Amino acid sequence: MPKDRFICETTFRVRYAETDSMGVVHHSMYLVWFEEGRSAYIRDHGWSYADIEQSGYFLAAGDLKAKYRRAARYDQRVTVKTWIEDVRSRTISFGCEIVEAETHAILFEATLKLICLNASGEITRVPNDWMNWLYPQAGET
C-alpha cells in the first residue's frame, strides 16, 4: 500500500447475506467491496460515478489483478482501503486492500485498470478537468 497519496478508508461489518452457510464471505463480495471503495474515493473528492457518466464518459474494467489472502467471516469488521495506483492518458488504475479492521491483517488485495470511454463506447483520453484530482492523488507533481 502506498504511503505517498490519499487513501480512502471505509469500515463496516460483514453482512449475513454476504456469507455462505459456514459464515465465510463469498469470493465475489470482495470485488463488490472494492467497487464501494472506489465509489467512496471518488465521493471524497467531490465527484460520483453518476457525475462521470452524466459528463458523457464511462470507466470500463480493463484489467483486474486480485489476491485472496484470508477469509472474512460474518459480523467481522473489515476496512476497505482504496487509492489511485496510476493514471495514464486513457486509463485510471485503483489499488485496494481489504483488511480486518482491528488487527489490520490483509484479507484481499487488488488493482483494477479502468479504461476511459466516450458516450459512443470508444476509448478516449481521460478528460483534462479530471486531472486536477487524479494526478495529485497518483503521486504526480
Report the catalytic residues. 20
Q: Give the CA diameter of the chain.
A: 49
Give the Å distances, CA to CA, from 53 to 47, 103, 116, 119, 130: 11, 37, 11, 8, 13
86 by DSSP, 3-state: which? strand
Assigned C-alpha cell, 116: 476511459
